[in-house]
Structure 1
């Protein structure tokens, strides 16, 4: 009996961090009063990433030490989460529910099951469902890449604005230095 208690399972760190992130955002989080970046859905049976750009920039680095939304989604997929809407970044798992931290230990990574038959002997139905799944995954990947592209363009624009501001500041400083030098030369002549 003592052996069993020392082997108590704990939830995967990825799941715990995702749960904590949602719970903290639900309590008010530190989004500075802005619209939620991520939240539980109304039923509490899944969650919605309202702004993938803000989520990647503000929350992922805080909880996961990276800012790659695609990596976050791949992790969700490895634990069996499903994207439920083509229009929203909403994800669900039957064991991932608001207020039910204790259920996280029941979520495990998907395991690859080896096939007893060679791939060329499988029924055409399986290949159709596989191709449909591949098409859906490809579409999802395309959407992620488009979102990432959009984020990169936004970052590039922000950096260009900063560069322009620094150049303006540099010119002002050079003007001040030139003015100062002129004033000192004039005083030295007097």
Structure 2
């Protein structure tokens, strides 16, 4: 059994250190039908569309987490707080709720308990900016909210090209493995 790191983001809800991605864009997919039903004041149809969005999201997350728990003995997740993305200062609330981070972590927690798999939640600071190969933060790495549009980058130190989310997931896994090596208990 292996170990895997998971980076939570808005573009793909979750990306693993081995490259698997969970893509949930249910709200956007159903937005037009929902808008039509809302303008028509068709409460029954609005309720049905919301239920469809929720059930599809739950199903996608369930399948993704089941595979992760089945294939790994250690799962390390970055500690992203959705509350920081849903304030009035940002326009990311709908995308954040659509990503389903809370539900993903909840399902991983109970599935890991049942399967005897270890779940670690770690601080993900600088995991996107740090090269997972040479462990340096270069000038070319994406930084802050301005760097959110950068999906891939080449490390100026070692020349390795990185997918932003896979690189972060690899660094999250490394942080989790380091914590276990020095005996820091789970969160």
Please give the TM-score of this superposition, normalised by the length of structure 1: 0.25
Higher alpha-carbon Rg: 1
- Higher percent of residues as helix: 1
Higher strand share: 2
| Relative contact order, higher structure (CA 8 A, sep 6+) | 2
TM value normalised by structure 2: 0.25
